[in-house]
Structure 1
Amino acid sequence: MTVNILFAAKPERWPTYEPLLQEALAEVGVDDYRLATDLPPEEVDYIVNAPNGPVQDFSPYTRAKAVLNLWAGVEGIVNNPTLTQPLTRMVDEGLTQGMTEWVAGHTLRHHLGMDAHIHGLNGAWTQDIPPLAADRPVTVLGLGALGAACAQTIAGLGFPVTGWSRSAKSVEGVTCLHGEDGLRDALSTAQILILLLPATPQTENILNAETLALLPRGAVVLNPGRGPLIDDDALLAALNVGQIGHATLDVFRVEPLPLTHPYWAHPHVTVTPHIASETRAKTASRVIAENIRRGEAGEPFLHLVDRDTGY
C-alpha cells in the first residue's frame, strides 16, 4: 500500500526538503510512497510538521499514524487539543552538533575573557590570566539529548560539569543532580550556567530572582534553550547589580527580539538571533524517514513525546 506523507511546513522549506526526504526514504527502504504538500486529509499516513506550518487542526487526519515534528521544541504543538496522533520531536545529529558548537564556543569565550581582547585593550597591557578549566565549574540545566551532549562536550574540555534535570539521569563524566534540593546545589557552584530545559509550565521562570541569587556572584548565564526559562526583569536586575556578570541569550519570549527590549542596549548582554541550533534538513530527513519506516514495520517511534511531561 502506498504511504502518503504530507509535508506541513512553510512553503519555502519544500524545495530543500523534497529531494532530501526522497533520498532518505530510499535509504531506509520505503519505496512506495506519495510525498506532497497537499493531500486529502483522510488519506494522510504521516505528517511531517513544523508548528508554524499550515496544519493547525489535526482532527481531519483520521488515518495519520504519527505527526513527525521538524523542531526539537514541541511546546507550540503538544497542547493542541486536536492533536490525538502520536507526536515525535526532532533529535538528530546535525541539530545536536550545532548546539554543542554554540555552547562550547560561548563557554570558552567567557571562560577565557575573550570579549576584552576582541573589543580592544586600548593600550592597557593588563594580563588577567583566567583559571584553568578545571577550576571553572559549569552547570547545565536540562539533561535531555541536547543537554547531555553539551554537558559531555564541556566536560571533555576539562571543566567540572554538574547537570540537573527534573528526574534522575545518569550522564558519563557529569555529576547529575535532580529535584529541588539538587537544583539549589547545582546553581550554587555554577560560574557558568547553561540552560537547556524544555519550555513547560514547570520550567517557566526557573531562573528568577531567587535562583539567580543562588549563583556565585559574577556568574555567566548562557541560554540557548527556551526564552520562557528566564524571568527577564529578574535577570536584568541581577545584571545591574553585578550578581550576574554577563548573559548570552539566543532565545526569547518574543522573536525577533523587539528593538525596544533592554537586552539590546545592556552592556553585559549578548544577543544572538536564535542560531544556536537549527534543524539541518539533511540529517533531519534521515530521522523522519527512519520513523516512517518504523511506523510501517510496527516498531516503536523514535523520540516519542510524553504528553504528560510536555516533551
Structure 2
Amino acid sequence: MPINVLFAAHEKRWAQYEAPLRTALDEIGVAYTLATDLPPAEVDYIVYAPNSPVQDFTPYTRLKAVLNLWAGVEDAVGNPTLKVPYARMVDDQGLTQGMVEWVTGHTLRHHLGMDAHIVNPDHKWLPDAPPVASDRPVGILGLGELGSACGQTIARLGFPVSGWARSQKQIDGITCHTGTDGLHAVLRQSQILILLLPSTPATENTLNAETLAMLPKGAFIINPGRGPLIDDDALLAALDSGHIAHATLDVFRVEPLPQDHPFWAHPRVTVTPHIASETRAPSASRAIAENIRRGEAGEPFLHLVDRDAGY
C-alpha cells in the first residue's frame, strides 16, 4: 500500500520541492503518493512549513510524523494538536553550509575592517592593519548543528572560539561553557559575538542592556539566529554609545523589517534580509526522504524536536 505524503507549505515552495522530493522518495524505494491536497485521515507524513494553512492536526488520524522544511520550529512546537513526532530540518549540504559561509564571511569582514575600505568616499588612506586571528576572540551563543559547524570553521582560521549552550558540550576547536557563569564568561571575552540560539521564552532578550555591557568595548555582533534574541532598544543604545562597534543582523522580531525601523538608517547596523541560510531543495528533500524511510523501517527518526526545550 503506498504511503501518502502531504506537502503543506506555500505554493511557491511546492514548485521548488515537487521534483526533488519525488526524486528523493524514488531513491529510497517506497511506493508513495505526494500531493498538496489529500484526505486528512489518509495522510502518513506531512512535509511542513509552520506558516502553512495546516494548523489543526486532529483530523490526521493516521499521521506518523511531521517533517519541517526548515530549522526553525518555534511557530509550531507549542501546537497542542501536534502530538506525533516532529522533526526539524537539518540540511548539512544546504542550510548548514550556507550558514557557515555567511557567518565566516561576516566574521572576516569585521575582523579585517573591510567596511572602512569598501565605503571610503573621502578617499582616506587607512594603513592600520587588523590584529591576526589568534588575537581576536570569537564567541558563539548556541552550539547546535549550525553553531558547532560555524565555530569549528572559524577556529580552523585561527580564531580562539568559545561557545555557550544550554547543556554541556564537547566540540573540537571550541571552548564550551554552560550556565549563567559560562554565558558571562563567553560575553566578556568575545570581540566578535555570533548568535545562533533558538527562539524560546528562555532565550528572548539574551542580549539586553546588562549582557551587552559585558562585551568588550568595540565588540561586533552577528545575529543570523532569531530576532527575539536581542533587545532592539538596548542594542541601539549600545551602538549609539560606541560600546558596540557594529551589528550585522539577518533576523528580526518582525519580518520583513518595517521601513521605519531605526536599524535601517543606523550607520553601525548592517541589515540583511534573512538570507544567512536557506534549505536547498535537493539536499533538504533527501533529508526528508531519509526520515520517511526510517519511519517505514521502524527506525528512530532523525532530528526530533525536544518539546520541553522548545527546539
Same fold (TM over 0.5): yes
Q: Segments of 4+ in structure 1 off by > 3 A?
A: none
Which amino acid in the other structure matches residue 203 of structure 1?
T
Structure 1 position 11, deviation (Å): 1.0
* Aligned residue identity for 1:83: L
CA distance in 2, matches of 1:16, 1:266: 36
Letter in 2 for 1:258: P
Distance in 1 between residues matched to 2:278 and 2:235, nearest whole Å: 25
Instruction: For 1:1-311, list aligned pairs within 5 A.
Output: 1-30=1-30, 32-93=31-92, 94-120=94-120, 122-311=122-311
Measure, in 2, the Cα distance between the counterparts of 1:305 and 1:123: 52
Q: Secondary structure at the match of 1:102?
A: helix
Once the two structures are TM-superposed, the CA of residue 263 in structure 1 deviates from its matched residue by 0.2
* Secondary structure of 1:184's aligned partner: helix
Deviations, residues 149-183 of structure 1 (Å, cap 9, x unaligned): 00001101110000110110111111001110000
- Give me the whole-angstrom Cα distance separating, in 1, the residues matched to 2:177 and 2:12: 42
- Whichever residue aligns with residue 62 of structure 1, its letter is T
Which deviates more, 242-251 or 50-59?
50-59
Secondary structure of the corresponding residue to residue 279 of structure 1: coil
Which amino acid in 2 is paired with 1:120?
N
Q: Which amino acid aligns with 1:270?
A: T
CA-CA distance at 1:121 after TM superposition: 5.9
Give the Cα separation in 1 of the matches to 2:167 and 2:207: 18
Identity across matched positions, percent: 73
Task: Give the SS at the match of 1:260.
Answer: coil
Matches of 2:248 and 2:138, distance apart in 1: 15
- CA shift, 1:25, in A, is 1.0
CA distance in 1, matches of 2:217, 2:12: 46
State the one-letter code of the partner of 2:107: T
Q: Alpha-carbon deviation of 1:126?
A: 2.3
Uncovered stretches (5+) of structure 1, i.e. residues with no partner: none
Q: Provide the TM-score with structure 2 as the length reference.
A: 0.98
Normalising to structure 1: TM-score of the pair?
A: 0.98
Aligned length: 310
What is the root-mean-square deviation of aligned Cα atoms in Å? Answer: 0.8
Distance in 2, Cα, partners of 1:227 & 1:310:
16
Q: How far apart in 2 are the matches of 1:268 and 1:12?
A: 35
Runs (5+) with no aligned partner, structure 2? none
Q: Deviations over 1:16-59 (max 9, x none)?
A: 211101111122222x1000000000000000000111211111
